[in-house]
Every structure is written in structure tokens, then in C-alpha cells.
Structure 1
Amino acid sequence: MIEDAKKLFDSIVNKIGSSSSARVLNSGASSGHSPSKPSLIEAQNEIYLALRTGSAESKGMLTGFGFLVGGYGVVLFLLIIGFGNALSSDWWLLLCSILGILMPAAWECTRPPSLPIVFNRRTQEIYYDLKGELYHAVWEGIEAVAYEYRMVNQYSGSIVHGNLEIILQKFGDPRNRVALNLSGISAGKRLSTLVGIWEYLRCFMTIGPWFDETGRRTESRSRFIEETLESGQISFLDLILDSRTFLGQERKEGNGISGSTVIEWIGSYLLFPVALGMEFIQRVDRKRSRKHWPEVVQERLDPNGPTSRLIDIEEDYMAQKQKELDELHERMRKTLPR
């Protein structure tokens, strides 16, 4: 178990073999970089900032493939109907196709949502849910480790990867700690980009909810914030729809149409059901996520909620929960037959 950022830094340097590719960042001091746009922002307002996790990005893939297989099955059935009388086996095709669409969607909608990483300005805390367990950290004095490294293989050659990580402790068990990556997908992330992402988070927590590209406080949303929030809302479905425009753009340029553009154009139609299914589940997830936080988090995300930190109430809260559990066991002992 890695207890703090210093040990995390030492562990990373031992793995990558160079301290020049890693840097320790502190919440109380400027990094010297301008804030960079994090690509995973789910929400940002006067109270909190929410970052999507990697698991949230891939949520809905099962439903997407259900939409793909089921959707093509429905299209095939309609073609059969259009060209002649459907047989009884063809109606089974329709039934199986509809079930292929509905069953994965229903199952994923009942699964616990992927909760984001939340930065709470009111209480100056960070919250994270790991398999139903609440982890948290106090912003004041927290340190992060940004580092980059290279991965080499015979197919893609040398690719730079990078992570931005902090240490959080489990609510009710402070010695249980995890290293949390704040930067999303590692591929293509350079150290300067990671430091800029940290500076964005630092500006939000220390300067105010709204600021410009230099990190100066603004009274309302700046264009920089608007662009950041817009880029954070781009989904796989948006990328699929955008790829359809590349063919027209190359036609206008008059230099011919490349094979990769044609493949992207065809893929945008073939993969549209997958993207649509993922978009549906992720939208449902975002609507449900707020209600799945523990009560101690929900009330602190309320504008009129308590301002005490989880670290301040942790001991009393766990003692109260243990007392309630002991009372429940005692009642069960008295009511159950001997």
C-alpha cells in the first residue's frame, strides 16, 4: 500500500528509471503552467466539479452491441416483409432482435452507475467511489504525481503514456488507501499536459469556479470554461456523426478522397447502433449517479448542506453506525428462537 505522494513518486521513478519524467504537484502552490482543458469533465458549477472515470467512458458497450445485432435483425425482417410473405421463423427473428435490443439495455440500466470523481469546493474535498466503497481526501495540502513513460511494441512503435495520480483514503478505514488516476486514458498524455490538467483542478478549487486560460478568476463562465465543458460532453456518438463530414470536406478540397476517409464514412453507419446504445446508457447513468452517493456526500453537495469535512466526522459517524449495528444484532438475538 502506498501511503502518500512521496512514496508514490519514489515507486514511479523506480519503474520508469528517471525523475525528469515525473513531478510532484501541490494544491497550495502554482505549477507554473497554464490550465489545460481536461477532456473528462462531466459537470462544473459553483459547488463541485465532476470528472468521468475510464469505466464510465466504456459504459453501455453491451447495450450498444445489442442495438447493433438487434437493429440489423429488425432491418432484415423488414426487408423480408417488403419482398414477400414472412414465415413463422421470420417472426422469431423479429422477436429475438427486439429482445437483443431490450434485454442488455434493461440489465445495464439496473446496474449501479459509474460515479464520477468529485471535487467539492464548499468543503474542499475529493470523493471517489470504488466498487461501492467511498474514498476521500482533503484538498488542503494534497499532493499529486504527474509522470510520463514510453511503451514500445512492434505494431505501433514508441508511444508516450502519462498519468496524473493522487492518494485517497477509505471512509471509515483511513489506513486503506488507493492511488487514483485523474487524467483518464494514458495514451498520448505528455507531462506538460498532465501538469496543465492539475492546474485546471487547482484553479477551480482555490481561485473560483470560473477562470480564464491564464488561471485568472472571472465573475462568470469564460470562453475557456465554455469550450472545456463542450469538449467534455463529446461522446462516441458525436465522434461517429462528425466522421461523416470528412468525406464532404475532402470533396470540397478537390484533392481526391482518401481510403481512410471512405472507411471512416462506412464505419460511421455500421457502428451507429453501438454508439447510440452507449449514449443511451451513459445518459441514464449520469441522471442516476447523484442519488447513488452515500448520504454524507449528497448532503455536502447540497448548496445549503453541512460544510464539515468527511475526515472531521469520520470517527463519530463510524461509531454511530457500529452502535446501530450492535443494537440491531441485540434485537435479532432477542427475537430469534433459541
Structure 2
Amino acid sequence: MGNTSLEIMLNRFRDPGNSLMISLGSPIGKTLDMQKGFWEYIRAYMNNGPWFDERGNYSESDNFVKSQLNLNTKPSSFLAHWRKTIADKKTATNGKNYLSGMDALMLLGHIMFYPTHWIQGFTHNIAKRKSRNRWPTVVLERLQSDGPATRLIDIEK
């Protein structure tokens, strides 16, 4: 099998009859290797919290996870990044023949999709704000920077 989807079933905390099936991963590029890697990342995070290395093993520091989170950029910042890239190319060549066809195409594409990306970020921020106080305290404990003291499965048992 070349392609696959990654799905998980979530049971509501202290209400096992209330469950939800969620498809994880992107809608494209669902190769088996990509899905296995994504699952291993989720599994390591669930088992170890944010303290694991690039192989998923327990680590005393969260440097690997922080390095991965630093790679995440907001789509609405793509336009500013590309404009800076073009400005750097102009500076490096003293303004002589610095703009390639791909640069122009990427700039135009980012300009065209900027409103969509901005609306996406705005909607995401509102959704985060609305869901902030809806979690039980035992779940909110897991969102703190020092991590949980217990596992949810142990509390349920």
C-alpha cells in the first residue's frame, strides 16, 4: 500500500460513550512513511510530553521540540518573507538583474493569497480564544510548560 490515512478515535474524558473520529495529517501527501513518521511524533509527545529527541526517546530537555516549533510559520507571513528575500537578492546584486521569473511568480502568488491567509489566521485566533476556558482543569494541566504530573489514562482507571 502506497498511501494511507491516519485516523484516531477520541473518547471524551470521563464519558467513554462520547467519542469522536479525527483524521490527522494533511489532505495531500499521505504516503505510508509520512503517516508513520507523523504518528511516531504524536506517540512520543503523548508518552513523554515535550521532552523527547529526534528519535522519539525520552530526553531531559525539550530542545528538539522547540526547534521544530520554530520552523512553523504563519501563512500570512509568507508575503513579508518573500519580499525580504527579494530585497536581499537586490542588495546582493546591487540591483542588477536580480528578479527571476520564479521570484515574480512567487510574489504575485503570495499577494493573491494573502487575504485568504490573513482570514485563516484571524479565524484561528478567535477559535483559540473561544476554546480557552472549555477544558477541565485536569486537561489544562497538560498545557502548562512544565507538563503533566499524571497521565489521563491513569486518572480514568
Smaller-chain TM-score bracket: 0.5 to 0.7
1:190 Cα deviation (Å)?
A: 2.4
CA contact (8 A) 1:210 1:218 kept: yes
CA contact (8 A) 1:211 1:218 kept: yes
Match of 1:276 among 110, 118, 125: 118
CA contact (8 A) 1:240 1:275 kept: no
CA contact (8 A) 1:240 1:268 kept: yes
The alpha-carbon distance between structure 1 residues 198 and 247, as it changes in their structure 2 partners (threshold 3 A), is same
Q: Does 1:193 align with 2:34?
A: yes
Q: Which amino acid aligns with 1:228?
A: Q
TM-score w.r.t. length of structure 1: 0.36
CA distance in 2, matches of 1:201, 1:193: 13
1:136-215 matches, within 5 Å, as 148=3, 162-169=4-11, 172=15, 174=17, 178-183=20-25, 185-215=26-56
1:165 Cα deviation (Å)?
A: 1.4
The alpha-carbon distance between structure 1 residues 284 and 236, as it changes in their structure 2 partners (threshold 3 A), is same
CA distance in 1, matches of 2:19, 2:33: 27
Tell me which residue corresponds to 1:286. Answer: 128
Match of 1:227 among 64, 67, 83: 67
Q: Which amino acid aligns with 1:268?
A: H
The alpha-carbon distance between structure 1 residues 165 and 272, as it changes in their structure 2 partners (threshold 3 A), is closer
Tell me which residue corresponds to 1:242. Answer: 81
TM-score w.r.t. length of structure 2: 0.68
CA distance in 2, matches of 1:307, 1:246: 45
Q: Which amino acid aligns with 1:186?
A: P
CA distance in 2, matches of 1:177, 1:198: 20
Q: Which amino acid aligns with 1:216?
A: N
Q: Which amino acid aligns with 2:55?
A: T
Identity of counterpart residues, as a percentage? 26
CA distance in 1, matches of 2:99, 2:12: 54
CA distance in 2, matches of 1:231, 1:276: 19
Higher relative contact order (CA 8 A, sep 6+): 1
Q: Which amino acid aligns with 1:180?
A: I
1:1-338 matches, within 5 Å, as 20-21=1-2, 148=3, 162-169=4-11, 172=15, 174=17, 178-183=20-25, 185-222=26-63, 224-232=64-72, 234-248=73-87, 251=90, 252=92, 257-293=99-135, 298-303=136-141, 312=156
Aligned-residue CA RMSD in angstroms? 3.6
Tell me which residue corresponds to 1:136. Answer: none
1:308 Cα deviation (Å)?
A: 6.3
Secondary structure of 1:301's match? helix
Tell me which residue corresponds to 2:145. Answer: none
CA distance in 1, matches of 2:11, 2:77: 36
The alpha-carbon distance between structure 1 residues 201 and 306, as it changes in their structure 2 partners (threshold 3 A), is closer
1:292 Cα deviation (Å)?
A: 3.1
Secondary structure of 1:291's match? coil
Runs of 5+ in structure 2 lacking a partner?
142-147
Which protein is bigger by CA-based radius of gyration? 1
Runs of 5+ in structure 1 lacking a partner?
1-19, 22-147, 149-161, 314-338
Aligned length: 147
The alpha-carbon distance between structure 1 residues 307 and 262, as it changes in their structure 2 partners (threshold 3 A), is closer
The alpha-carbon distance between structure 1 residues 193 and 308, as it changes in their structure 2 partners (threshold 3 A), is closer
Secondary structure of 1:165's match? strand
Higher strand share: 1
